Amino acid sequence: MLILAFDQSIARTGWCLYEPPSHSSMLIGSFTSRPATNMSTEEKTGIFCDEIEKLFRAHKPQFVVWEAAAEVIRSFAKKGREDLAGPTKAPPLTVNADQLILRDIQGHIRHAARARRIPYEAVQPRTWRAAILKNGNLGRDEAKKKAKEFCQMLRIPVKNDDQAEAVCIALFGASTQTYRMMQVRAA
């Protein structure tokens, strides 16, 4: 059963097509989803939607897995200005816009799978990192580095860290309960 895995972001999204158990026939790629300035959220996520639609049509996956976006949207204090009267009152909070867009992108993946009646699963970063990289508490940059080293160890040719994480997510996808239940039904 062909697995399509994503490590999505608005800058560059890695993807991997994997048919277990052999990783030697993996198809791996990435696409730039960095939007132009002054684009609306719909336009930004539309770029991603077009790319995933191409992958679904070209390869017809039977299971889709991706890294789940953060459940809690973190907020950051804006830097306040100081004037002659002293510091201004507590600065307002702002959210990281990327985190909001990732939820839309995740929705596009889910919709593409549901529209085709393909089973899918969103996996938590800590979960797949613990299973594949043997440490679920890695930071973002350290996890990307370890994922690339993991692919090099298995001689899986990746060109960037987003592709490496997509490979790890695909490998983890083959161990999920959803995927294993699909195998039982197919047998």
List, for residues 45-62, the tens digit of each pLDDT value.
Answer: 788 889 999 999 999 999
H helices of the chain, in order, are 41-59, 97-115, 125-128, 140-153, 161-173, 177-186
**Scanning the structure block, which residue is given the tokens 């393909």?**
118
Asked if the model's pLDDT at residue 35 lies above 70, the reply is no
Q: How far apart are CA 150 and CA 148, in angstroms?
A: 5
Distance from C-alpha of 168 to C-alpha of 107, rounded to nearest angstrom: 21
Residue 4: pLDDT band with limits 50, 70, 90 = very high
pTM of whole model > 0.75? yes
Q: What is the pLDDT of residue 165?
A: 97
